[in-house]
């Protein structure tokens, strides 16, 4: 029996957490995951303000107590004083995975020159992967899927192409994606041709 993938989604926004406007980050992430992942998965969602201690506590709770394999945050990654998501993420990390932040900025630079202002990071805490995503729904999708031409051919790979293999390496869970949305990559030696049911 394959373990059920558990994903934590954290939307970080002062105004959305106060009810000033409706959060768009979690619905966008959930819809994208439902389209991209072949296996069923379980979600834990949190909507919190841009407070570093609260972000740190939430990330620790999702990893240490809720046992999420993957935690995706949205919002709070820019250079303004209230943008502390990367700082909180690094504070609770065991190891940094710099390639995720580099690739997110690479993807976003195809759309906006201000992508270089983003401080998004990817880290490992215990056996969980935590990734900071942009705050805008359009940018979330672009970052995960990558840059595609009008025919749907991938020009720059999105970060989620590497997530299944990363999770397999750090916690042993095996997940597949729908190649029509995002083709995940793993070396031949790590593929399960006949997956366990």
Domains and CATH numbers, the chain: 5-190 (3.40.980.10)
To the nearest whole number, what is the mean pLDDT of the chain?
93
Q: How confident is the model at residue 196 (pLDDT cuts 50, 70, 90)?
A: very low
Using DSSP's 3-state secondary structure scheme, residue 121 falls into coil
Is residue 27 a contact partner of residue 90, using CB atoms and an 8 Å limit? Answer: no
Look-up: residue for tokens 């590497």?
162
More confident residue, 59 or 20: 59
By the 10 Å C-beta count (0-12 exposed, 13-18 middle, 19+ buried), 122 is classed as: buried
Q: List pLDDT tens digits, range 100-155.
A: 999 999 999 999 999 999 999 999 999 999 999 999 999 999 999 999 888 888 89
Q: Strands across the sheet with 70-74, in order?
A: 41-48, 5-12, 70-74, 128-133, 122-125, 95-96
Share of the chain above pLDDT 90, in %: 85
**164 CB-side CA count, 13 A:** 22
């Amino acid at each position: 029996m394959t373990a059920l993938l558990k994903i934590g989604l954290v939307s970080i926004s002062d105004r959305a957490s106060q009810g000033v406007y409706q959060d768009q980050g979690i619905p966008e992430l959930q819809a994208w995951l439902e389209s991209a992942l072949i296996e069923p998965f379980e979600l834990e969602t949190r909507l919190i303000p841009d407070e570093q201690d609260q972000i740190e506590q939430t990330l620790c709770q999702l990893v240490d107590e809720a046992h999420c394999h993957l935690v995706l945050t949205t919002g709070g990654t820019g250079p303004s004083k209230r943008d502390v998501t990367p700082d909180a993420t690094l504070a609770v990390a065991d190891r940094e995975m710099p390639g995720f932040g580099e690739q997110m900025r690479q993807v976003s630079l195809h759309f906006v020159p201000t992508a270089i202002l983003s401080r998004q990071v990817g880290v490992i805490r215990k056996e969980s992967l935590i990734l900071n995503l942009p705050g805008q729904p359009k940018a979330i999708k672009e970052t995960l899927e990558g840059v595609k031409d009008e025919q749907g051919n991938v020009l720059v790979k999105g970060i989620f192409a590497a997530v299944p293999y990363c999770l397999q390496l750090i916690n042993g869970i095996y997940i597949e994606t729908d190649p029509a949305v995002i083709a995940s990559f793993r070396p031949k030696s790590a593929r399960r041709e006949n997956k366990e049911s």
